Amino acid sequence: MSIRTPFVSRARLFTLGIDDETGRGFLAIPVSIGAIDTHERYALTPEQLERFLADEDAAGDFADECRAREHDSLLLGEQGWRRGTPIAPPPAGTPLPPRPARAPAAPRTDAADAIRASEPPAGTWFGPEPGVDLPIVATPHLRELAPLDARVAAVAAAARAGDLSGREALVDLLHDASDDILLETRLQAQRLLVVLARDEDFADPTTFRYLDDAPEELLHDVAGLGRRMQARSAIDVLVRVGRGHWRDQDVRRSIIPSLLMLVDRSDDERREEPTLVSLAKSAHRTLQDESATYLLSGQPWSPRPAIERMRAGAIKAHASGSRSATWFLAPDLSLWSGIPGPYLKDVVLTDDDLAAVVGWADALDALPWVAGRKYVHGHDVDGGPSLR
């Protein structure tokens, strides 16, 4: 969806925009849904849009009316998402609060061997962690808030060894109606099931019980994507987290980096901080977007483009002396291949760093990837030849 925003009022906290696909005008106000900040868009007639563009006070009065509404009949494109709490503008004459100063970054060594996996990958829950045999969960903070359930951990450990038969146990966890099974456990089971699932598992819409409350068209697209494991994984978890109004920031950070690599976002969307709502819409649009070729059934998926992107980015950053990162690709590449690599986040690459990234990329390139096959820790989920 392409959107133009011809007018933004920072004093009255509203935006006037036009949806290029439909030609409809709208007024957007910021809202909060729990810990999530997003926007509500209210439909405008062409006459209203023209008047509001010429009269900020009239537009601001309409924005205040929208904030006072107790119903959402004028909301655009928000079906299924709970209405948030409108954020009111500051009282008249009150200056906007100053932007808080950014805390200085913690000192960090640039040596690749010291940085390598210095903190668990943010993009996946079940990637390998050097020196530890058990699977990990997102971040150290999340590990305290939601320790990996023993039943899920057993399936994850078996998968690392090549035994992918634990799918049925995960499905049982998802469908168990017992009250003693925590939301964290169901969410972990779903995430791992997405990683291990075969095409036939995704073809059955009853496999993922917690997608039942997703929009029907989104469920249909997710189930029919074949071996586009990355997109399915990110969207499945995104929908579950959004629908469950999950409050933990670390859970959302663990899925957003991967999803940002998978969806095409418009220029306007790139200028805004991503939210669960905006990412869900971008992801849904991308699945029908011809520019996302490796997500489409016409081109079998392969990780090779991601490997080359990582290598080329590191070489370019090293040559220019600019900061670079592998943290948004390393978790997924480690999960697919079973070979952990340098986990670098916003650092100026030393010669050793560059050698570590290029060496890892070369090792990944040397694996016998078969386009269209889905791998977990180097094992083909359909029982085909392993990568190593």
Q: Which residue has the tokens 């078996």?
A: 158
Residues 122 and 331: beta-carbon distance below 8 Å: yes
Which runs of consecutive H residues, i.e. helices, occur in the chain?
A: 46-54, 56-68, 112-115, 140-145, 150-160, 167-175, 183-196, 199-203, 216-223, 229-243, 249-260, 267-270, 276-286, 304-320, 330-337, 351-365
User: In terms of pTM, does the model score above 0.85?
Assistant: no
pLDDT of residue 376: 84
Residues 6 or more apart whose CB falls under 8 angstroms from that of 133 comprise 157
pLDDT of residue 272: 73
Query: Please, is 303 exposed, middle or buried when counting C-beta atoms within 10 Å of its C-beta (0-12, 13-18, 19+)?
Result: buried
pLDDT of residue 45: 82
CA dihedral of residues 234, 236, 239, 242 (deg, nearest 10): -60
pLDDT in tens, the chain (388 residues): 456 666 777 777 788 888 777 777 888 887 654 444 567 778 888 788 888 888 888 998 888 887 776 555 455 544 333 345 555 665 665 554 554 444 443 333 333 333 233 333 333 333 333 333 333 333 332 333 346 788 888 888 888 888 988 988 988 887 777 778 776 677 677 767 777 877 677 656 566 654 444 444 444 444 433 334 445 455 555 544 444 444 444 444 445 555 555 566 677 777 776 665 566 666 656 544 333 333 333 345 677 877 888 898 889 988 988 887 666 567 677 778 888 778 776 778 889 889 988 999 999 999 998 877 778 888 988 888 999 8
pLDDT of residue 55: 86
Backbone angles phi, psi at 161, to 5 degrees: -90, 0
Q: What angle do CA 386, 387, 388 make, to 5 degrees?
A: 95
What are the tokens at 232? 């399915």
pLDDT of residue 143: 37
Distance CA(5)–CA(222), nearest Å, equals 31
Print the SS3 string covering 138-183. CCHHHHHHCCCCHHHHHHHHHHHCCCCCCHHHHHHHHHCCCCCCCH
Distance CA(173)–CA(88), nearest Å, equals 42
